[in-house]
Amino acid sequence: MRAIIQEKYGSTAVLQAGVIEKPVVGDTDVLVRVEAASVHVGDWILMTGRPYVMRMATGIRKPRVAVPGTDVSGIVDAVGKDVRRLRTGDAVFGWCEGAFAEYAVAGEEQFVTKPASLTFEQAAAVGVSATTALQLLRDNGKVEAGQKVLINGASGGVGTFAVQIAKAMGAEVTAVCSTKNVDLVRSIGADHVVDYTREDFTKGQNTYDLILDNVGNHSMAQTRRALAPTGTLISNGGGHADGKLGRTLRTMLASMVVRQQAAPSVKTQNAADLVALKELVEAGSITPVIDGTYALNETAAAIRRVATGHARGTVVITVNQQRKPVTEAPDSVPPPARPPRLIDAAVAPLAASPPA
Ligand SMILES: NC(=O)c1ccc[n+]([C@@H]2O[C@H](COP(=O)([O-])OP(=O)(O)OC[C@H]3O[C@@H](n4cnc5c(N)ncnc54)[C@H](OP(=O)(O)O)[C@@H]3O)[C@@H](O)[C@H]2O)c1
């Protein structure tokens, strides 16, 4: 099968398109023919191997999993003998290891049947970004109807889901974004918009019961000025810089001493939340926002787009679906030096330029 292979950490130059063996299906596994995958900040972090502490989980010297990508949608191609809930032919979405490939395998609990109303591209966009937004607002933030919620970084992968989920929970939502995204965040339900190129939400008169900060461009003291006396600040990472770990730790420490709660961001992947998100889709409460689609051999360009920190919604890779690639990869370039599991030398470098 065609796949993106990453043998070491580094820039997008470490990503190679190649042909490898199809994954093996274990007794409790589901093999999915990938229709689409989506890219999030975590894919960029895994590619670079930074911050270094992440390598404790992903592999110290090189990635533990040679095929990147986690968020996926597709058709069930085969199931293990102990799989009960899903059948061959089901359209599904969820998480796996190795989503940037024609086939991906994972345990049955990591997939849920796809809402009929979503395209495969939209369903692939749900994955980690929507789950993060759901868990931060529901579990960390404990958002209640009528509360004032501000989402900083409202137009990105997490933010576009967060705006819609907070609205579905009955909150009054203020979205912070740049001028070009004002209409977008209004269209997905924001009640109020702060254009950060003209106004700084930490310097205004308004205060909020909950601030979900996806950007980390203010100090915690500045951000807390915009919190109601018993409000909650959720510092989700801290932007795309290496400082995100330090910011998360500072937030955890602050939550012990400041009057306002500063809840750290946490994230776990579970089927129950995929079902919850599916129900929100089916109720018409959330619709994934797609920044753009890229062919599998354009994965490097897709990851570069995410790394800009200015994606509008989620960046998606189409795999088996018929779509003319934005850039045709040349076929005259040699394969990588020692590709593991590579069974076909027809390897091309990934497209360098983003779509027009
Ligand atoms: N995506 C995930 O699955 C995931 C999971 C866990 C944690 N996180 C963390 O969550 C954070 C956000 O991730 P993401 O995937 O949503 O990022 P993203 O898709 O790159 O989106 C970032 C958004 O932030 C906006 N932005 C940039 N500068 C801003 C500013 N000064 N004020 C307000 N908005 C600004 C951008 O809009 P403009 O173009 O208008 O500036 C862009 O739409 C990151 O720290 C990431 O590590 C992400």
- CATH 3.40.50.720 in the chain: give the residue spans: 129-267
Give the Å distances, CA to CA, from 256 to 31, 149, 259, 261, 306.
45, 22, 9, 8, 33
Q: What SS3 class is residue 221? A: helix
Residue 214: other Cβ atoms inside 10 A: 28
pLDDT one digit per residue (tens) for the chain, 356 residues? 999 999 999 999 999 999 999 999 999 999 999 999 999 999 999 999 988 888 988 899 999 999 999 999 999 999 999 999 999 999 999 999 999 999 999 999 999 999 999 999 999 999 999 999 999 999 999 999 999 999 999 999 999 999 999 999 999 999 999 999 999 999 999 999 999 999 999 999 999 999 999 998 898 889 999 999 999 999 886 555 445 566 667 777 777 777 787 777 766 788 899 999 999 999 999 999 999 999 999 999 999 999 999 999 999 999 986 544 443 333 333 333 333 233 222 233 333 333 33
Cβ–ligand 1 contact at 176 (below 6 Å): yes
Give the Å distances, CA to CA, from 172 to 166, 189, 212, 303.
8, 10, 13, 33
- CATH 3.90.180.10 in the chain: give the residue spans: 2-127+269-336
Cβ–ligand 1 contact at 135 (below 6 Å): no
Measured between alpha carbons, how far is 216 from 47 in angstroms, rounded to an integer? 22
Q: How far is the CA of 201 from the centre of ligand 1 (A)?
A: 16
CATH H-level, domain 129-267: superfamily: NAD(P)-binding Rossmann-like Domain (3.40.50.720)
Identify which of 194, 190, 212, 189 has the alpha carbon closest to the alpha carbon of residue 204.
Answer: 194
Cβ–ligand 1 contact at 237 (below 6 Å): yes
Q: How far is the CA of 239 from the centre of ligand 1 (A)?
A: 6
Q: How far is the CA of 122 from the centre of ligand 1 (A)?
A: 18
Cβ–ligand 1 contact at 311 (below 6 Å): yes
Beta bridge partners of 93: 73, 112
Cβ–ligand 1 contact at 248 (below 6 Å): no
pTM for this model (two decimals):
0.89
Measured between alpha carbons, how far is 165 from 171 in angstroms, rounded to an integer? 9
Residue 125: other Cβ atoms inside 10 A: 31
Measured between alpha carbons, how far is 330 from 240 in angstroms, rounded to an integer? 31
Q: For domain 2-127+269-336, say whether CATH 3.90.180.10 is its number.
A: yes
271: Cβ contacts below 8 Å, ≥ 6 apart: 94, 109, 110, 111, 112
Nearest CA residue ID for atom 11, ligand 1:
214
Q: Which amino acid is at 232?
A: T
Q: How far is the CA of 302 from the centre of ligand 1 (A)?
A: 15
Cβ–ligand 1 contact at 39 (below 6 Å): no
Measured between alpha carbons, how far is 287 from 164 in angstroms, rounded to an integer? 8
Nearest CA residue ID for atom 6, ligand 1:
132
- Atom number, ligand 1, closest to the C-alpha of residue 267: 6
